[in-house]
Every structure is written in structure tokens, then in C-alpha cells.
Amino acid sequence: MRMSFIAGNWKMHKTMEESKELASQLVQRLSGSPYRIMIAPPFTALGAVSEVIKGSSILLGAQNMASSESGAHTGEISPDMLLDSGVSVVILGHSERRHTYGERDELINKKAILALSKGLEVILCVGETLDQREAGTTEKVVTEQVEKGLKGVGMSDLSKITIAYEPVWAIGTGKTATPEDADVMHKVIRSVIQNLYSEAAASNMIIQYGGSVKPDNVKALMAMENIDGALVGGASLKAETFVPIAEYDA
Ligand code: PGA
């Protein structure tokens, strides 16, 4: 049985005070959630939010990480710095990193391997653009992203990986994949895991959906057989919208 995993990606929003305020509302309102819950504030608020959520079941996530352990990498954040700030999960390969900042599968894979070696969990984001969908290459693109993203990741580290399927055309646009369309892709991802690892690995893999998840569509999405949670952007920025998502009726 896969436990649903609901993650909020705050992106480049919220000052330290705003982050603490939202985190404390979530601690109060989500203490009894039956699901795994994670929030990923901006780097500058990680330490402060870590203090606020200490002792609660909410996990602290980071939105990105350097591909090297330390050194002359101006502007980058190392895995040890994340651990030091209380982070236990890092989001890698988000489409905004891929498409706005040119991150390629090889770099994302390097980050994933490093994060795992440091004991961090990884949410590996994959997803096709609208052009790729219209060209009929969705399955090929997503398969490649999963295969390349997981290159060199051993079976024993798989339980520390979550895959987030986020069709790029559905992110921040208000357009959601239909639950059926999303489920088709989640199934494709599960079969990639089966080919790379094993049937058991495929059936245990947590695969989140992301892209305009809202309180009014979460239930239908989560009802699909292969969808095991959500990576939420816009709707994670307010307790009024994140709490109902994080407590959806199964
Ligand atoms: P959205 O973002 O919920 O605002 O579409 C999702 C994401 O980018 O992870």
C-alpha cells in the first residue's frame, strides 16, 4: 500500500516572516493528516521554517541543490547546507529548473546521486512540454527523463525517491491533465521503474502528480490507481488552499 505524499513548492515566494506564518498555520491545521506532508520554502526561510515545524510531522523540503559537495560555486547551496537547515527532501529537475535555467538530465542525475549519498530524499520531477505532447513524444520524453534521472541509483536507494509527473503545460496555467490522462503517464512511469528495477519496486514507487492541483480537483486526481500524491505550487501558498488539498477525502 503506497502512502500518499502531498508536497507544497513555494517557489520564489515569501519572506522569512511570511514563511514562518504559513508554516505555523500548517502545523496547527495539519497535525492529524493521514498523509505525508512536505513544504519547500525558499532557501532563505529554511532555517526559520525548520524551527516552526520541529516536532510536527511536516517534512522540510528544498527546491533545488548544487551538484557538488562544496567549493567555488557562487550562488549554489550544498547538500550539507540543506541538512544543516533541517531539510530532509530535495526537489530536483523541476520544469522551471529544466526550461528556464537549462538543467539537463545529466546534471539532475548528478544532483540526485549526491543528494542520496548524503541521506536526503529526492523528488525527481519529469514532464513533457506542450510541443512535445502535440508532437506525440510524451512517453518517450518522460521515459528518458526517468531513465536518465535515475542512472546509477541502486535498488536500496529507491525508497528515498519520489517521482513527480508534472506536464509542463499544466504548471501554473490552471490547465490540469485529466485524471485519466495523468494516470496513463503515471502507469508509463511505473513500467519504466519495473524495467529498470523490478515489479515490486514499480508497485512501491510513490508517483506524485503536479500541475494546477487545487482543492476542487485533488480528489479526482488522487482517486486514480497510479497517482500517489501531489506536488503543489500556487495552491500551496495559502493555508486555505493547501490544507484542503493535504486533507483530501480518499
Ligand atoms: P502549480 O505548480 O501547482 O502552480 O501548477 C506545480 C509545480 O510547479 O510544482
Could you read off the pLDDT of 50-108 as tens digits, one per residue? 999 999 999 999 999 999 999 999 999 999 999 999 999 999 999 999 999 999 999 99
Task: Give the residue from 113, 112, 3, 14 showing the smallest Cα distance to 57.
Answer: 3
Asked if pLDDT for residue 177 goes beyond 90, the answer is: no
Q: Is 111 helix (H, G, I), strand (E, B) or coil?
A: helix
Choose the CATH number for 5-238 among 1.20.1250.20, 3.20.20.70, 3.40.50.300, 3.40.710.10.
3.20.20.70
Q: State percent of the chain over pLDDT 70.
A: 100
User: Which of 6, 9, 169, 209 to probe ligand 1 with, by most ligand atoms within 8 A of CB?
Assistant: 9
CB 66 less than 6 A from any atom of ligand 1: no
CB 212 less than 6 A from any atom of ligand 1: yes
Distance 211 CA to ligand 1 centre (A): 5
Strand spans (E) along the chain? 5-9, 36-40, 59-62, 89-92, 121-126, 161-165, 206-210, 229-232
Enumerate helices (H) and strands (E) in the chain, giving the number of each. 11, 8
User: Which of 175, 213, 216 to probe ligand 1 with, by most ligand atoms within 8 A of CB?
Assistant: 213
Query: For ligand 1, atom 1, which residue shows the shortest CA distance?
Result: 233
Collect all residues with Cβ–Cβ distance below 8 Å to 117 and sequence separation of at least 6: none
| Closest atom, ligand 1, to C-alpha of 234 | 4
Distance 198 CA to ligand 1 centre (A): 30
With cell 532557501, the residue in question is: 43
What are the extents of the domains in the chain?
A: 5-238
Half-sphere exposure of 113 (CA within 13 A, CB side): 15
Mean pLDDT of the chain, nearest integer: 97
| pTM for the full predicted model | 0.97
Task: Give the residue from 115, 76, 61 showing the smallest Cα distance to 236.
Answer: 61
CB 183 less than 6 A from any atom of ligand 1: no
What is residue 171's predicted lDDT score, i.e. its pLDDT?
Answer: 86
Catalytic residues, by residue number, are 94, 166
With cell 522551471, the residue in question is: 96
What is residue 48's predicted lDDT score, i.e. its pLDDT?
Answer: 98
CB 231 less than 6 A from any atom of ligand 1: yes
If you compute the radius of gyration of the chain from its CA atoms, what whole number of angstroms results? 17
User: Stretch 226-244: mean pLDDT, rounded?
Assistant: 98
Contact predicate 144/104, CB 8 Å: no
User: Stretch 144-160: mean pLDDT, rounded?
Assistant: 97
Query: For ligand 1, atom 3, which residue shows the shortest CA distance?
Result: 233
How far apart CA 101 and CA 4 sit, in angstroms, is: 30
Contact predicate 149/103, CB 8 Å: no
How far apart CA 164 and CA 70 sit, in angstroms, is: 27
Band of residue 229 on the pLDDT scale cut at 50, 70, 90: very high
Asked if pLDDT for residue 136 goes beyond 90, the answer is: yes
What is residue 49's predicted lDDT score, i.e. its pLDDT?
Answer: 98
Distance 228 CA to ligand 1 centre (A): 16
What is residue 46's predicted lDDT score, i.e. its pLDDT?
Answer: 98
Band of residue 172 on the pLDDT scale cut at 50, 70, 90: confident
What is residue 55's predicted lDDT score, i.e. its pLDDT?
Answer: 95
CB 127 less than 6 A from any atom of ligand 1: no
How far apart CA 25 and CA 85 sit, in angstroms, is: 20
Distance separating the N- and C-terminal Cα atoms of the chain: 14
| DSSP string covering 115-152 | HHHTT-EEEEEE---HHHHHTT-HHHHHHHHHHHHTTT
CB 166 less than 6 A from any atom of ligand 1: yes
| Closest atom, ligand 1, to C-alpha of 213 | 3
Asked if pLDDT for residue 173 goes beyond 90, the answer is: no
**Cell triple for residue 151?**
542512472
How far apart CA 147 and CA 241 sit, in angstroms, is: 34
Q: How many CB atoms lie within 10 A of CB 15?
A: 12
